[in-house]
Chain A
């Protein structure tokens, strides 16, 4: 203390020591004597005459240079000290005689006598201006940046924190907070915000993110922690120095972004799945196409052969004498049956390969279904309840009615076979509008004919193959495996499509989509079989066929029926015959596919010679030449190979009688 120092040298020495320690002055307040003793530095700071140092100053001098804004505060604090408070530690501004404002930290204590009465109040002033500015910068940085600081010494129960730190965690602002108070805001399962050494090895860095529940409003927030672990030089402990700041918004944006990314993945996955589905559908279509071409080709060749076989058996049957061995007749009948079955088979193959000749007409599906109810009742066992439902509002369609009946019957039989223990079969028709997406049918109006059973159903593997020709789930000999293939081919050829859905144990649902027909189309009456199939010698028929055996059979058959018959092996020969005849030819019966000149080319040239000449095509393989989008052209009649004599007779008669 300056007053106690005694000599000038000691004063000088003390002053040097205090200056080195950063002190800007010291005071000794004699409470009882009401006198303030200051050292030279203090006097200099306040601009007091140094020659009065020994005698001291009035106590009010203490407050003279204190900034007016800080003065009341310091007066109160000093009043406390003079009344016996033990410690003084205040920061305040001092205005120097030059007008400079300095921040001072005054630290002092009260000295009591034996009766606990305050004697002296002594202390030191330290210039903390520099530190204050730094603190100010730090405070601004903290509040502007929303950054809270903390400092934790290993082993302590409390943590030094900044106001912003408390605000971020929703805690009541304080300089020190208990460790567990801070860590209690962290959500369950998260690590401690301020780790204690006892928890194990300390991390090298304090970088981390914590989900907390704010103390005041209970809101969940994300807090980031950054900082350093500083080890004491003697290796005995450490300090954790760090900052925290709120990263909730960033976290939320991150979450939104991640969600977007995740849904992107989902979208991509959906897209890929759809693509795979489309590829699978394409592969299936290509397979069906390839199988169709193959079966179509085989069927065509078989039909030519069957035409000869059937024709020849027919011929032989007619010529066999009544007196002949009955076994000959039986054999011929067996041969005919076999050939007819073969013909039916090739016909189905053609149907599947979409090369069966269709004869589309305007069809009222409701009437058609009603007309089938007898047939269905006969075909389906009594154990199965049949319900047919189509209201009068169902649109007209354009389709081959016979093939449609055939298809529905096929589906009904499949349904029956799926319900050996009985069940219910429901056939309905309704209008359906397709948008053109998600399927292979073009957009437009369709009539959907549904055949639904509650039978055994099918698994996925079976479903994938149901339309394949010769694929069957039925026992050997019970089905050809061509039923659904035919229905498939028919639906496609008619410009529609077919859907099938099934699960083991929960039945099967097949939906046949057929395009809506022209509303103005008039329902055709069923074709009329001619009452009399035989011909007259006055009627001349020209047969053109490149296959000698088939031609020979057709010519023979027509002669037998009583017609005059001319024959030609190709179109040119046929045209020659047409030109050279005095008597007109009444009907041209021609194969479609022939070398040099096709059936339709021949028909065209023939019409130039004989306008209005009737034409009947025969073919085992209807070709584009006469098929327009799978349908016969206007005024064209077609007799599918193989054909029986009766069928030929009926068709020829029908054309001649028109």
Chain B
């Protein structure tokens, strides 16, 4: 169950989706500059779920092992951001962002570095945009590449103890005619999410004004 104080209303969800979309648009623009090709990134939907539910959401959709780029963020709301791909898509993504000239060996060699860099661009854009739009500032750690399944990435506690929540975003990539799907997950504790919700409400009030 999602506690009342952090459950997002439809409008809050819309607002967060738009903010993240601005972030991924910026990321797409940065990537386009990096690789000189059109990159399309979009976030069609967003959800707040438990760690367990997030793990299930991913494993429902992905049979393969996962690969993730992780960055921790700190500020008025703190947590951990994950950009997640199915492992099978990872080399595809690397090939897409590095261009077609690399050999298979080189791609494997570069995988780690390329992933970390791509993840950094995307996550940074999202988090920075969020901070910017919500008129706050966030600091971020350097990216780290992880492998595992949904349960390990979301650190699902088998004992069922109280756990934080996950802001779960679907993300669609389209690079060099390749369709790659991924996920952005922001793991936050309840006080952080409650703060985020408050900031979203402020944002909505400023945008919508009397129409709300």
The answer to whether B179 has its CB under 8 Å from any CB of chain A is yes
A75 touches B29 (CB 8 A): no
Q: Which of B15, B25, B40, B62 contacts A76 (CB 8 A)?
A: B15
CB-defined interface of A44-88 with B at 8 Å, one 1/0 digit per residue?
A: 000000000000000000010000100111011101100111110
Q: Which residues of B contact A184 (CB under 8 A)?
A: 63
User: Which of A127-135, A174-182, A399-407, A622-630 participates in binding chain B?
Assistant: A174-182
CA distance A180 to B62 in the complex (A): 8
CA distance A159 to B19 in the complex (A): 27
Interface residues of A in 604-632 (CB under 8 A from B): none
Given contacts A175-B44, A177-B61, A178-B62, contact A75 B207 (CB under 8 A): yes
A84 touches B18 (CB 8 A): no
Given contacts A84-B25, A87-B42, contact A63 B211 (CB under 8 A): yes
CA distance A110 to B40 in the complex (A): 13
CA distance A116 to B129 in the complex (A): 13
CA distance A83 to B22 in the complex (A): 7
CA distance A175 to B181 in the complex (A): 14
CB distance from A417 to the nearest CB of B (A): 76
Q: Which residues of A contact B10 (CB under 8 A)?
A: 73
The answer to whether A252 has its CB under 8 Å from any CB of chain B is no
CB distance from A586 to the nearest CB of B (A): 112
- Report whether over half of chain B's contact residues are helix, strand or loop; otherwise say mixed: helix
A75 touches B208 (CB 8 A): yes
Q: Which residues of A contact B11 (CB under 8 A)?
A: 72-73, 76
CB-defined interface of B171-193 with A at 8 Å, one 1/0 digit per residue?
A: 00000000101000000000000
B22 touches A80 (CB 8 A): yes
CA distance A71 to B209 in the complex (A): 11
B18 touches A110 (CB 8 A): no
Given contacts A76-B15, A84-B25, contact A215 B63 (CB under 8 A): no
CB distance from A77 to the nearest CB of B (A): 6
Q: Which residues of B contact A141 (CB under 8 A)?
A: none
CA distance A215 to B209 in the complex (A): 42
The answer to whether A157 has its CB under 8 Å from any CB of chain B is yes
Given contacts A63-B211, A116-B29, contact A76 B18 (CB under 8 A): yes
CB-defined interface of A503-535 with B at 8 Å, one 1/0 digit per residue?
A: 000000000000000000000000000000000
A112 touches B29 (CB 8 A): yes
The answer to whether B14 has its CB under 8 Å from any CB of chain A is yes
Q: A215 — nearest CB in chain B belongs to which residue?
A: B60
Q: Which of A76, A112, A157 contacts B204 (CB 8 A)?
A: A76
CA distance A73 to B18 in the complex (A): 10
Q: B25 — nearest CB in chain A belongs to which residue?
A: A86
The answer to whether B57 has its CB under 8 Å from any CB of chain A is yes
B18 touches A85 (CB 8 A): yes
Q: Which residues of B contact A83 (CB under 8 A)?
A: 22, 129, 133
CA distance A63 to B212 in the complex (A): 13
B25 touches A71 (CB 8 A): no
Q: Which residues of A contact B40 (CB under 8 A)?
A: 86
CA distance A116 to B30 in the complex (A): 9
CB-defined interface of B4-34 with A at 8 Å, one 1/0 digit per residue?
A: 0000001100110011011001101100000
Extra A-B contacts (17), CB below 8 Å, given A87-B25, A171-B60:
A73-B10, A73-B11, A75-B208, A76-B15, A76-B204, A77-B18, A80-B19, A80-B22, A83-B133, A84-B25, A84-B26, A85-B21, A86-B29, A86-B42, A158-B181, A177-B61, A178-B181
Q: Which residues of B contact A (CB under 8 A)?
A: 10-11, 14-15, 18-19, 21-22, 25-26, 28-29, 40, 42, 44-45, 56-57, 60-63, 129, 133, 170, 179, 181, 204, 207-209, 211-212
A-B contact pairs, 16 of them (CB 8 A): A72-B204, A73-B10, A73-B11, A73-B14, A75-B207, A75-B211, A76-B11, A76-B14, A86-B21, A86-B28, A86-B40, A87-B42, A116-B26, A174-B45, A175-B44, A181-B60
Q: Which residues of A contact B (CB under 8 A)?
A: 63, 68, 71-73, 75-77, 79-80, 83-87, 110, 112, 116, 157-158, 171-172, 174-175, 177-178, 180-181, 184, 215
